[in-house]
Structure 1
Amino acid sequence: MAARIPATVVTGFLGAGKTSLIRHMIENNKGKRLAFLINEFGNLGIDRELLLGCGIEGCGEEDVVELANGCICCTVADDFLPAIEAILDRPQPPDHILIETSGLALPKPLVKAFAWPEVKARVTVDGVITVVDSKAVAEGRFADDETAVQAQREADESLDHDNPLEEVFEDQLLCADMVILNKLDLLDDGSADRIEADLAAHLRPGVRFVRAREAAVDPAVLLGLDAAAEDDLESRPSHHDSHDGEDDHDHDDFDSFTLSMASIDDADALEQRILGAIAANDILRVKGFLDRPGVPRREVVQAVGPRLRRYFDRAWKDGETRRTELVVIGRKGFDRAAVERAIRG
């Protein structure tokens, strides 16, 4: 039997640095033929566009497959299997497949799909890499306030105290073969040790931490783990495992929408409006592209929590429609109209 193609699943919460990690792997892959499967939450393919905008040889249109507007862990049969089979059936199949899940996805249902007969004979999960935003974790963004929860419980025992964000985050850790502590340049000395100690309780035995700034990790560290994760599902528990073997995972905990705008004359003012909207509403993530009049290059916006980053990634192509579009992701029930008003100004 021919050797199976290894696949690496890159998971992690919103804004942790998954796409940056994959871009770094592309830049340093040393001649391997790679294929990429990108899963988006929302109908604007930001992450695929970011990869295609990298300008790196070996990262062409045909190499980056996007599954948009649906969580890969909930649409495995309809979306993932046809996409992975199309990649495998190419005249020159890739040496390695990289799969980036959406920041709201659970990795375990995806890993289960690799145990399906039509996939297992041809592909194996080399490893599950979980990228962590160390700065966000240090700020307690995925930890419940135990005192507040207890007060709510005492006030109304019928309340559901589950924190869906924390469960998603913990499931991503529980499935990991390696955890990348990213954005350590935003923390003071000693914080990484504390974060490792806190997160270790949510990891399986033997899972290692790798520390990173701007997701710069040598691909040699990430590829070739030989985990065969599809054969190791029982050791990867999930909050969403159910007694009948199906996964109970509801993305109704989150909402998203795409905001289209005219060209942006004052990007600094827009940045302040975005940050104000995030602070005033239950917004988890804002990402997208800006059309700046008279500027030949496309500007990227990446915001998570109170941090926002802007940079130019590539020139607008000949014949391409220049546009300003942002994807806004938040908890279920956030006031979309208020957010849109705040950002538009």
Structure 2
Amino acid sequence: MTDLAKLPVTVITGFLGSGKTTLISHLMRNPGGKRLAVVVNEFGNVGVDGEILRSCAIPDCPAENIMELANGCICCTVADDFIPTIEALMALDPRPEHILIETSGLALPKPLLKAFDWPDIRSRITVDGVIALADAEAVAAGRFAPNVAAVDAQRRADDSIDHETPLSEVFEDQISCADIILLTKPDLAGSEGVARARAIIAGLAPRPLPVVEVAEGIVDPRVILGLEAAAEDDMDARPSHHDEPHDHDHEDFESVVIDIPEISDPAELVARIEELAKTQNILRVKGYASVAGKPMRLLVQAVGARVRHQYDRPLKPGEARTGRLVVIAEHDDIVDNRIRAVLCPAAEAAE
């Protein structure tokens, strides 16, 4: 790459728990000969994904090439956060050859593309492509399609068949903005579920889009890097529910951070998260826990009532044996004290 060449950026979008961090971890380990940098935009003020990715750092993507923005949506903090971060990455020696941006699961991708039109960086970077991840099982079940009356009834006590939740708009915007769709977790959906998910996506997409099945984030980097889409110059082909001025806000969603004491059994924590999803319509839980008698930290990732957990790294000397979870829901479903009561029943009782 010459000094005059535009630095390519790939925007990786997708709904909560669709596998964005897993995909980026794979690309970091398999960069296709490119020197990568990563920007992670978290929802809320606790950076879970950034820490996961830093633990995967390798020479082609060292820890200093991984930057985290946890102060709000990138496109809402362009001057204060996004531009300085991009400029800092471009000033690294050696300079990255490709930047990956992992958006928040609640982010609308098109406003982010508009941020690339900022005069300070437009002449120096280009959006190589927008990659949208879609959970095959969830899409096949109709959870994030336009008519989700059954889910709406559970989440909002509104069973109008024409009612579109903010979740459906986010999902549609992500599909509409994409250059390639990665259909994740196809093993959970099965062949019929994958076929149904493909049909739903084809019905939502404003133009024919390639759809690639991806398990555990494993995809050849040649498939998604080097697309040369110049998406910042192709905005009209990427329609959005939020194209009108001043229509971009995040008040539909809210997050709360819960500090939890050391736990004795991961299964008990999983059961509590499942209870939250079923009784309080929680969309996403992610974070860490410390398990009594275990030298490793427990990583927890949940999408609705589907909870995954694994030990991800040894606890550091002197590290507190406590945990921290980020809980995300639609605005009306966040009730702080109820969430704490479910996740930390012993602490609530002590108070």
TM-score normalized by the length of structure 1:
0.91
TM superposition shift of 1:203: 1.6
Aligned to 1:290: 289
TM superposition shift of 1:254: 0.8
Structure 1 residues 225, 254: closer, same or farther in 2, change over 3 A?
same
RMSD: 2.2
Aligned to 2:189: 187
The one-letter code sitting in structure 1 at the alignment partner of 2:275 is: G
Contact 2:136 2:197 (8 Å CA) reproduced: yes
Aligned to 1:48: 50
Give the whole-Å Cα distance in 1 for the aligned partners of 2:191 and 2:208.
25
Give the whole-Å Cα distance in 2 for the aligned partners of 1:124 and 1:304.
32
* Partner secondary structure for residue 75 of structure 2: coil
Give the whole-Å Cα distance in 2 for the aligned partners of 1:8 and 1:199.
21
Paired residues for 1:48-127 under 5 Å: 48-54=50-56, 56-127=58-129
Deviations 1:51-71 (A, max 9, x none): 122364444331111100411
Structure 1 residues 247, 185: closer, same or farther in 2, change over 3 A?
farther
TM superposition shift of 1:134: 1.0
Contact 1:253 1:331 (8 Å CA) reproduced: yes
Contact 2:149 2:163 (8 Å CA) reproduced: no
Deviations 1:257-276 (A, max 9, x none): 11001111111111111111
Contact 1:53 1:313 (8 Å CA) reproduced: no
Bigger mean CA offset, 231-240 vs 332-341:
332-341
Give the whole-Å Cα distance in 1 for the aligned partners of 2:86 and 2:151.
45
TM superposition shift of 1:317: 2.8
Aligned to 2:199: 197
2:136 equivalent among 134, 137, 141 = 134
* Partner secondary structure for residue 85 of structure 1: helix
The one-letter code sitting in structure 2 at the alignment partner of 1:98 is: L
* Partner secondary structure for residue 302 of structure 1: strand
Aligned to 1:305: 304
Give the whole-Å Cα distance in 2 for the aligned partners of 1:315 and 1:202.
44
Aligned to 1:252: 251
Aligned to 2:337: 337
In the TM superposition, structure 1's runs of 4+ consecutive aligned residues that sit over 6 Å from their partners are: 147-150
Contact 2:283 2:328 (8 Å CA) reproduced: yes
Deviations 1:88-114 (A, max 9, x none): 122321010000000011111111121
* Partner secondary structure for residue 288 of structure 1: strand
Bigger mean CA offset, 130-139 vs 47-56:
47-56
Give the whole-Å Cα distance in 1 for the aligned partners of 2:97 and 2:51.
23
TM superposition shift of 1:28: 1.0
Aligned to 2:315: 316
Structure 1 residues 264, 189: closer, same or farther in 2, change over 3 A?
same
Deviations 1:139-172 (A, max 9, x none): 221133459989xxxx999xx9441111011001
Aligned to 1:279: 278
State whether structure 2 residue 173 is matched by structure 1 residue 171: yes
Aligned to 1:325: 324
Bigger mean CA offset, 44-53 vs 311-320:
311-320
Contact 2:133 2:183 (8 Å CA) reproduced: yes
TM superposition shift of 1:318: 3.6
Contact 2:32 2:221 (8 Å CA) reproduced: no
The one-letter code sitting in structure 1 at the alignment partner of 2:262 is: S
Structure 2 stretches lacking a partner, 5+ long: 346-351
TM superposition shift of 1:32: 2.0
Structure 1 residues 187, 97: closer, same or farther in 2, change over 3 A?
same
Contact 1:72 1:102 (8 Å CA) reproduced: no
Aligned to 2:232: 230
- Tell me the percent identity: 50
Aligned to 1:32: 34
Paired residues for 1:15-26 under 5 Å: 15-26=17-28
Contact 1:54 1:314 (8 Å CA) reproduced: no
Contact 1:182 1:211 (8 Å CA) reproduced: yes
Deviations 1:300-325 (A, max 9, x none): 00000121000111222345444300
Paired residues in the alignment total 336
TM-score normalized by the length of structure 2:
0.90
Aligned to 2:348: none
Bigger mean CA offset, 246-255 vs 91-100:
246-255
Give the whole-Å Cα distance in 1 for the aligned partners of 2:286 and 2:58.
22
